[in-house]
Structure 1
Amino acid sequence: MLESIFRAPMLFFDRNPIGRILNHFSKDIGHMDDLLPLTFLDFIQTFLLVIGVVGVMVAAIPWIAIAVIPLGILFFVLQQYFLQTSRDVKCLECTTRSLVFSHLASSLRGLWTIWAYKAEQKFQELFDAHQDLHSEAWFLLLTTSQWLSVYLDVICAIFVTIVSFGALLLVECKYKCECLWYIYIL
């Protein structure tokens, strides 16, 4: 990435503000170093947990496999909807963060000029506006993740309730059938 920036023509720097370039460097490297290993670890743990739980449930009561298939389809549909929305919101958040970085970089470069014209208050208000916009986009990104979490929790709670009552009904039906069989034999 650094090599590409070094070899970029001057037109690239005219079209892309320094804040956007800094944003991409900091965000991409931060994701690779910090978030990617943790996300991969969480994925592996959750995947193995889900496979284990579904395997035990299907081994105990094979009829559950019928209910697991629509649940998987529903999770897949929710995931696709979330990913489309999340990409757009993440792009919005990155764009608003670039505005903050650009304003900060240009303010630091022109600090002497800002002091000479006594425009500190104007630049402070502009920075606050950019920061507020970024905070709104960041909050929107967090709430979309929470939305997915709440929906998945509700769906799982409904599924567990249905499976629990289904298991109780199967046990009760089996018990009644055995009782009727014993009465018939006697």
Structure 2
Amino acid sequence: IFAKAAGYGNMLQAVGLFVVIQGCQIGTNIWLQNWIKVAATSTHGIGYYMGIYTTLIIIFMGLMFCASYKILVMACVQAADRLHSKLLTSILRMPMNFFDTTPIGRILNRFSSDIFSIDEMICWTFFDMFLFGTSVIGSLVVIATTTPIFLAIVPPVFVIYVLVMSYYIAASRAFKRIESVARSPMYQHFSETLSGVSTIRVVGCSQRFIDENASRSDDSSNAHFVWAMGNRWLN
């Protein structure tokens, strides 16, 4: 859904940039290794090797900037705008009974925490996925050309990784759902308190509402802690 909203063209261009970035990084390492090998017998001065090495570094940094701009600015901003507009349009077109049966905290949760995840977390997740994915593939290609026997352990390691990921994803999805469910009552209580703050003060119920807010905040924090520890377990 996010890739579609961001535009498949932007995503393909980002992948292409990261592939070139990885190739440039490998080329830089190869050039540095070659420089060390022929340093004693080469007829070229140090400026020749340093100039090419510096050029490769500048190209690498320029491509990294372009890839970051493509994902974090163009693709992510476009995706955030489209998904927010789609969510807002869907909410505004809902019948009145939807607002009678759906807690206001759940709606606020969609427009606050979930939109924040789209704007921040998912963007960086895609960026890291492209960066580290191409890095792993590039490393495997280099290792395969220098030490082909190493490829024999890749399939079992990949199978283990897939099994761990499948186990983690199921648990993480449940933790995230619990966190979202626990956060909605906190937003709802805060919204109700804000709209009726004058009445609360008049009838002298301030402490009761403070205690209720603290209780719901604790429930939300506990659920978030479980989700965060699940992520740390994978790391």
Q: Same fold (TM over 0.5)?
A: yes
Structure 1 residue 29, shift from structure 2 partner: 2.4
Aligned equivalents of 1:50, 1:2: Cα separation in 2: 39
AA aligned opposite 1:124: I
AA aligned opposite 2:111: F
Question: Which gives a bigger RCO, structure 1 or 2 (Cα 8 Å, sep 6+)?
Answer: 1
Structure 1 residue 103, shift from structure 2 partner: 0.5
CA offsets per residue over residues 54-77 of structure 1, 9 Å max, x none?
Answer: 222222222211111000011111
CA offsets per residue over residues 90-137 of structure 1, 9 Å max, x none?
Answer: 011111111110010011111122112111111111100100111111
Aligned equivalents of 1:135, 1:32: Cα separation in 2: 21
- TM-align CA RMSD: 1.2
Q: Does 1:92 align with 2:187?
A: no
Q: Does 1:140 align with 2:226?
A: yes
More moved, 121-130 vs 111-120? 111-120
Count of paired positions: 149
5 Å-filtered alignment, 1:3-82, equals 3-82=89-168
AA aligned opposite 1:122: R
Q: Does 1:124 align with 2:221?
A: no
Aligned equivalents of 1:123, 1:131: Cα separation in 2: 12
Q: What secondary structure, in the 3-state scheme, does the structure 2 residue paired with 1:63 have?
A: helix
Q: What secondary structure, in the 3-state scheme, does the structure 1 residue paired with 2:148 have?
A: coil
Normalization by structure 1: what TM-score? 0.76
Aligned equivalents of 1:30, 1:133: Cα separation in 2: 20
Q: Which residue in the other structure is 2:18 paired with?
A: none
Q: What secondary structure, in the 3-state scheme, does the structure 2 residue paired with 1:8 have?
A: coil
Structure 1 residue 27, shift from structure 2 partner: 2.5
Aligned equivalents of 1:47, 1:109: Cα separation in 2: 48
Aligned equivalents of 2:173, 2:152: Cα separation in 1: 33
Normalization by structure 2: what TM-score? 0.61
Aligned equivalents of 1:2, 1:58: Cα separation in 2: 50
AA aligned opposite 1:87: R
Q: Does 1:115 align with 2:201?
A: yes
